[in-house]
A and B are shown apart, each in its own frame.
Chain A
Amino acid sequence: MLRVSLTGSLCDATDGADSIEVEAVTIRELLRKLVERYPRLQTHIDGGIAVSVNGDIYRDNRDLAIPANAEVFLLPRIQGG
């Protein structure tokens, strides 16, 4: 079981929940299960989202296998210059 933390405006889509437990092996599965529980997250995912796994930020790699007990954060997608 993963504990996923959310920050920023993403919490608006989870009824204020900033920490959610999810059973998932990959980022793709994690996002799918989060949307099943909180459908409003889909808008954020479509608009761009990043997932931090043990401190490394993944913007597009949905196939990443999330290690057991990993520290997982959902973040808004970052833009750069």
Chain B
Amino acid sequence: MAHDTSFTDQEFKVIGSRPVRPDGVDKVTGRARYGADASAPGQLVGRILRSPHAHARIRKIDTSRAEKLKGVKAVLTSKDLPDLTNGNRGNYDILENCMARDRALYDGHAVAAVAAVDDATARKALKLIKVDYKVLPHVTDVDKAMESDAPIIQPHIKQDDKPSNIANVSQFGHGDVDAGFAEADVIIEKSYKTEQTHQGYIEPHACLASIGPDGQGELWVTTQGHFTFRNVCADLLGLDVAKLKVTSSEIGGGFGGKTHVWMEPVALALSRKANRPVKLVMSRDEVFKASGPTCSTSIDVKIGAQKDGTITAATATLRYQDGPFPGPWGMLGAMTSWACYDIANVKAVAYDVLVNRPKVAAYRAPSAPMAAFAVESTMDLVADALGWDPVDFRIRNAAKEGSKAAYGPIYGPIGIGATLEAVKNHPHMKAKLGKNQGRGMACGFWFNFGGQTCVDLNIGIDGTVNLTMGTVDVGGARASMSLIAAEELGIAYEKVKCNIGDTASLGHNDTTEGSRGTFSSGMATIFAARNAIEEMKRRAAKGWEIDVEDVEWKDGAAHAIGVQHSNLAPLTLEEIARKSPTTGGPIAGHNESVTDGAGVSFASHICDVEVDPETGATKVLRYTVVQDAGKAIHPDYVEGQFQGGAAQGIGWALNEEYVYGEDGRLKNPSFLDYRIPVCSDLPFIDTQILEIPNPNHPYGIRGVGETSIVPPLAAIGNAVSNAAGVRLNHVPMSPPRILKAIKEAQTAG
């Protein structure tokens, strides 16, 4: 059965089919090996001592009693992690986050570590370490951190030559917003807040580290980017990159949180000091406190529009907290905030702000969901004020090919208009709503990108194929790459076995982030397969004793072309492979490249909710995701990404929240008190895949992993606001916040 792409007339034989995933059986039978599942002879258990204070000077750490405890093989403080960063401030920040130096910067900041023969001994040793703290004033709220009298988190960061918690100010936009607002018939201005959330991956951070006395090391780790981990760990510890082999385990979720190192350099340093392998696994408490959640934010949005539905001007001021180290998060919020729309006069100003919370990490389309919540909520308010249908209002202003994006470039072929038209015509939009029920919709954008990629394709003696890739499979890449290799080679999907290579077996591969995996590795796989095909054509030509120019590859076999060769029967891939020992040896294809040119991605979501006016509880009744995939290689996985993003967004919108006490300590570091959605909280999430090909990819692939989390906060916010009859402007829209909003509206009359 062929699977064609109507936009480009490409016809595929296996791309677009839905075969069984190659890692599925291992995962459902418990045979898959995750970060905590590796062991080594003589391994020790690592444990980390963490600060109980949000902000404190470390006057002294006494490790002497812990060192004397029987079974303790190494105790580590920042003195064992000297600064080798040579002025690279980014690397220094990573080092300081892995192990506090003179100050603890948040509740949960690592201050010391031990390696012992078992977990009980390691825990006992932690209790014997005495840390002399001088508690300092702290700040955990993004708006308060910007005030002039706020405690300073990083004294070297300055604004106007004065120490400041504002690490970066970014501005994007074009046109004259004052002139644009002057032309508007309606202007709506609104402020929003979103609370900090964690990616909530089920598998905690875990690794097994080993460094021998010869300076050679190995790291088995759950990660989204083992090549990046290798480079960072080698830099921080003064190791040769080539002497540290990093192997990525199966990954139980990452969503951006496993793009950064957290305790892996500590595990390696413990191993080096103890001269034994060290296994280090975070508890859930540690994952919440000391790995990277996303930002909390405070955002102001202003939109002006005319009666004909044209937005004449739009501005956003975005304040994102980064934890105690600068990041690009506010900047990304500003860049994505207005990306769905074609606006003549637009401006977004972002502030990246430091606070005493954990270092922020990427979370699936980082920073975009919060900006979309503010923008898309205000879009609904403007549409309502103008008397426009919210979908038609967005279609009226949607960006299209040739539109100048608010963050700068002019768009090529894009899918925002198509997703909106699909939403407008979707049966979901026509379904009737009951009492206390409301419907909302919203749009979202993510950039997608490519990057450095390297794959090896080796053809076995029996005609089966080993494909080794270096981008970690977090969302089905092995299935997708097997499909692509099968498509190019003209063989069955089941004939291809895709593996993730360790850092010693391939050239550098960038981290699996930015929705780059299928785009990048897919392109490299196509070219590697084509290289192998060229070699197989040469082998066939050699056997036939004809020119290689007279050989073509079709349907998994070499064909001699031309009437003079009509007596030569085609040679299948398997036949060529079996003869390979005597025709030149192994047959392989290889590709290394920088796969830039990823196409941007848009999605539009629809959501129905029911709000209980007595309790403020919200039930999501129906949810639909419409997104442009460019080309869906394995549609099950694409739909899974759409559904996964929506599910995480629903949790973020309604329940998930880091709750800090007045003492600056995290009050809910467990899944009992930090409530992610479970199956009974969710409806079946419907999906509609659009395929508007990316012209920069041979198959038209765009990334699909991140955009699906961008619209949910706003779609649910609009639905809840319509159901409750009052605008919700604070995420999560938990029952107490909804009740408060309802009561305030009733009081106001």
Interface residues of A (CB under 8 A from B): 5, 7-9, 47, 50, 52, 54-61, 64, 71, 73, 75-81
Q: Is the CB of B596 within 8 A of A76?
A: no
B331: which A residues are within 8 A, CB to CB? 8-9, 76
A59 vs B594: C-alpha distance when bound (angstroms): 9
A59 vs B514: C-alpha distance when bound (angstroms): 12
Tally of A-B Cβ pairs under 8 angstroms: 104
Interface residue? B516 (CB, 8 A): yes
B598: which A residues are within 8 A, CB to CB? 57
Interface residues of B (CB under 8 A from A): 90, 168-172, 199, 255-257, 259, 328, 331-332, 334-335, 361-366, 405, 407-412, 446-452, 513-516, 594, 596-599, 696, 706
Q: Is the CB of A79 within 8 A of B168?
A: no
Q: Is the CB of B365 within 8 A of A52?
A: no
A71 vs B410: C-alpha distance when bound (angstroms): 7
CB B712 to nearest CB in A, in angstroms, measures: 15
CB B516 to nearest CB in A, in angstroms, measures: 7
Q: Is the CB of A7 within 8 A of B516?
A: no
Residue of B nearest to A27 (CB): B596
Q: A57-B447, A79-B366 are in contact. List 9 more A-B contacts (CB 8 A).
A: A7-B172, A56-B696, A61-B594, A61-B596, A78-B332, A79-B328, A81-B362, A81-B366, A81-B514
A29 vs B61: C-alpha distance when bound (angstroms): 52
Q: Is the CB of A79 within 8 A of B332?
A: yes
Q: Is the CB of A80 within 8 A of B515?
A: yes
Q: Is the CB of A56 within 8 A of B706?
A: no
* A81: contacting residue among B256, B335, B411, CB under 8 A: B256
Q: Is the CB of A76 within 8 A of B170?
A: yes
Q: Is the CB of A79 within 8 A of B514?
A: yes
CB A34 to nearest CB in B, in angstroms, measures: 16
B365: which A residues are within 8 A, CB to CB? 80-81
* B596: contacting residue among A8, A47, A60, CB under 8 A: A60
Given A80-B365, A80-B514: A55 in contact with B449 (beta carbons within 8 A): no
B328: which A residues are within 8 A, CB to CB? 76-79
A64: which B residues are within 8 A, CB to CB? 596
Residue of B nearest to A63 (CB): B594
A47 vs B331: C-alpha distance when bound (angstroms): 15
* A78: contacting residue among B169, B172, B334, B447, CB under 8 A: B447
Residue of B nearest to A10 (CB): B170
Q: Is the CB of B259 within 8 A of A56?
A: no
Q: Is the CB of B408 within 8 A of A52?
A: yes
Residue of B nearest to A51 (CB): B596
* A55: contacting residue among B256, B410, B450, B451, CB under 8 A: B410
Chief secondary structure at chain B's binding surface: loop
8 smallest A-B Cβ distances: which pairs?
A81-B256, A80-B514, A81-B362, A52-B409, A80-B513, A73-B408, A58-B596, A81-B364
A61 vs B407: C-alpha distance when bound (angstroms): 21
A58 vs B593: C-alpha distance when bound (angstroms): 13
Q: Is the CB of A80 within 8 A of B408?
A: no
A56 vs B409: C-alpha distance when bound (angstroms): 8
* A80: contacting residue among B90, B516, B596, CB under 8 A: B516
CB A61 to nearest CB in B, in angstroms, measures: 4
A5: which B residues are within 8 A, CB to CB? 408
A71: which B residues are within 8 A, CB to CB? 409-410
B362: which A residues are within 8 A, CB to CB? 79-81
A71 vs B409: C-alpha distance when bound (angstroms): 7
Q: Is the CB of B363 within 8 A of A56?
A: no
CB B225 to nearest CB in A, in angstroms, measures: 11
CB B175 to nearest CB in A, in angstroms, measures: 13
B259: which A residues are within 8 A, CB to CB? 79, 81
Q: Is the CB of B452 within 8 A of A80?
A: no
Can you list 15 A-B pairs, Cβ within 8 angstroms, ordered by A? A7-B172, A8-B335, A52-B409, A56-B599, A57-B447, A57-B449, A58-B596, A60-B452, A64-B596, A75-B408, A78-B514, A79-B259, A79-B328, A79-B366, A80-B447
Q: Pick from A5, A9, A47, A79 the residue with the most CB of B within 10 Å.
A: A79
B596: which A residues are within 8 A, CB to CB? 56-61, 64
CB B282 to nearest CB in A, in angstroms, measures: 19
Q: Is the CB of A81 within 8 A of B255?
A: yes
B172: which A residues are within 8 A, CB to CB? 7-8
Q: Is the CB of B407 within 8 A of A56?
A: no
CB B367 to nearest CB in A, in angstroms, measures: 9
CB A4 to nearest CB in B, in angstroms, measures: 11
Q: Is the CB of A80 within 8 A of B256?
A: yes
CB B555 to nearest CB in A, in angstroms, measures: 34
Q: Is the CB of B408 within 8 A of A7?
A: yes
Q: Is the CB of A79 within 8 A of B410?
A: no
Q: Is the CB of B451 within 8 A of A59?
A: yes
CB A6 to nearest CB in B, in angstroms, measures: 8
A81 vs B707: C-alpha distance when bound (angstroms): 10
Q: Is the CB of A80 within 8 A of B411?
A: no
Residue of B nearest to A62 (CB): B594
Residue of A nearest to B168 (CB): A9
A8 vs B447: C-alpha distance when bound (angstroms): 16
B257: which A residues are within 8 A, CB to CB? 81
Q: Is the CB of B706 within 8 A of A81?
A: yes
A32 vs B560: C-alpha distance when bound (angstroms): 50
CB B422 to nearest CB in A, in angstroms, measures: 23
Given A61-B594, A76-B331, A78-B514: A54 in contact with B412 (beta carbons within 8 A): yes
Given A52-B409, A54-B412, A78-B332: A60 in contact with B451 (beta carbons within 8 A): yes
A57 vs B516: C-alpha distance when bound (angstroms): 13
Residue of A nearest to B593 (CB): A61
A61: which B residues are within 8 A, CB to CB? 594, 596
A47: which B residues are within 8 A, CB to CB? 90
Q: Is the CB of B451 within 8 A of A58?
A: no
Residue of B nearest to A56 (CB): B597
Given A58-B597, A81-B259, A81-B363: A7 in contact with B407 (beta carbons within 8 A): yes
A73: which B residues are within 8 A, CB to CB? 408-409
CB A8 to nearest CB in B, in angstroms, measures: 5
A81 vs B334: C-alpha distance when bound (angstroms): 17
* A54: contacting residue among B90, B256, B410, B446, CB under 8 A: B410
B706: which A residues are within 8 A, CB to CB? 80-81
B255: which A residues are within 8 A, CB to CB? 81
* A57: contacting residue among B256, B332, B409, CB under 8 A: B409
Q: Is the CB of B170 within 8 A of A9?
A: yes
A7: which B residues are within 8 A, CB to CB? 171-172, 407-408
Residue of B nearest to A77 (CB): B328
Given A61-B594, A81-B259: A55 in contact with B513 (beta carbons within 8 A): no
Residue of A nearest to B169 (CB): A9
CB A50 to nearest CB in B, in angstroms, measures: 8
B515: which A residues are within 8 A, CB to CB? 80
A56: which B residues are within 8 A, CB to CB? 412, 596-597, 599, 696
* A59: contacting residue among B364, B446, B450, CB under 8 A: B450
CB B77 to nearest CB in A, in angstroms, measures: 30
Q: Is the CB of B447 within 8 A of A55?
A: no
A54: which B residues are within 8 A, CB to CB? 409-410, 412
* B449: contacting residue among A8, A9, A80, CB under 8 A: A80
Residue of A nearest to B446 (CB): A80
